[in-house]
Amino acid sequence: MELKSTVAVVTGGNGGLGQRICHALASAGAHIAVVYARSAGEGESVARALQARGVEAAPFACDVTDPAQVARLVEGVTERFGRLDILINDAAYNKAIPFRDLGALTIEEWTKILDVNLTGPLHCIKAVARIMQRQQRGRIVYIASIAGLAPSGSSIAYAVSKAGLIHLTKWMAVALAPHVLVNCVAPGLLEGTRATANLPKSQIEHSAASALLRKAADKDDVANQVVTMCRTETMTGQTVVIDAGRIFH
Ligand SMILES: NC(=O)c1ccc[n+]([C@@H]2O[C@H](COP(=O)([O-])OP(=O)(O)OC[C@H]3O[C@@H](n4cnc5c(N)ncnc54)[C@H](OP(=O)(O)O)[C@@H]3O)[C@@H](O)[C@H]2O)c1
């Protein structure tokens, strides 16, 4: 799909990875809806930085766990930009919970993590699918994690939420074909994001040391892969791993 003058909604667009995705899509010619939940200042500053580059961009507040807010987001974006072609589901919540401590894996944390990381993307996809199918054109990209492919990551709940997202990618590719293509990127550890700052230092060090390339994954590599998945005409239902060589699938 030619990305010039398309409209992309990026959930978590104010986050460490999300803002790189916003800039990469903008460089390919897309207009950007920067979606934040609580950090209004960061959402506005990412939108301002895009506008300073001459990009049409605006910040939107939305908690993806609330379908009413998601519906208002989609309405707001189509009112502001006149169309909606791309959805990037980058927003997520994590909290370090030791794998063997099942007592610490409370049902409250489990539910919150699955709500934000798995049910939230479902609300978003349901809200945009009607528009994309009507215009017979759309691209959806999920941001999962290698934790969804092999037991790793910040908690069992986080890993299960990302495994669900990877399977949801396949199902949504089936459900929305042939006009809407759905793909997923599964990054390994990314340095310099708030999510990474929530992890124990030992996990961060182990992650980079155990990679074949002896480094963390690169946020811009992930963002560029997202752009490729928006451009593609022949790839759907796939998950691409970017993790400096840690897991194979
Ligand atoms: N960092 C890593 O090492 C790593 C590795 C693999 C995969 N990932 C994945 O990469 C993506 C980006 O992570 P990141 O590291 O860039 O995280 P980050 O900087 O912490 O950003 C997380 C984003 O999610 C948003 N968010 C959280 N709860 C939300 C909700 N209920 N509704 C809407 N938005 C919500 C936050 O918005 P507010 O700040 O406004 O609340 C923020 O923009 C996530 O899907 C993460 O799981 C990260």
Query: Is 118 within 8 Å of 222 (Cβ atoms)?
Result: no
pLDDT of residue 11: 98
Say whether the peptide bond before residue 178 is cis (omega within 30 degrees of 0): yes
For residue 147, give the ligand 1 atom closest to its CA. Answer: 6
Residue 86 three-state SS: strand
* Predicted confidence (pLDDT) at residue 203 exceeds the cutoff of 80: no
User: Which pLDDT value is given to residue 198?
Assistant: 74
Mutate to test the pocket of ligand 1, among 42, 94, 145 (most ligand atoms within 8 A of CB): 145
The mean pLDDT of the chain is 96
193 CA to middle of ligand 1, Å? 8
Q: Which two tokens stand for residue 166?
A: 């990877």
Per-residue pLDDT at 220 exceeds 90? yes
Active site residues: 158
Q: Which of 66, 193, 240 is the pocket-test mutation for ligand 1 (most atoms within 8 Å of CB)?
A: 193
- CA-CA distance, 18 to 53, in Å (whole number)? 17
* Ligand 1 centroid to residue 209 C-alpha, Å: 24
How confident is the model at residue 202, as a pLDDT?
82
Q: Which amino acid residue places its CA nearest to atom 7 of ligand 1?
A: 145
Handedness of CA 33, 146, 109, 98 (dihedral sign): negative
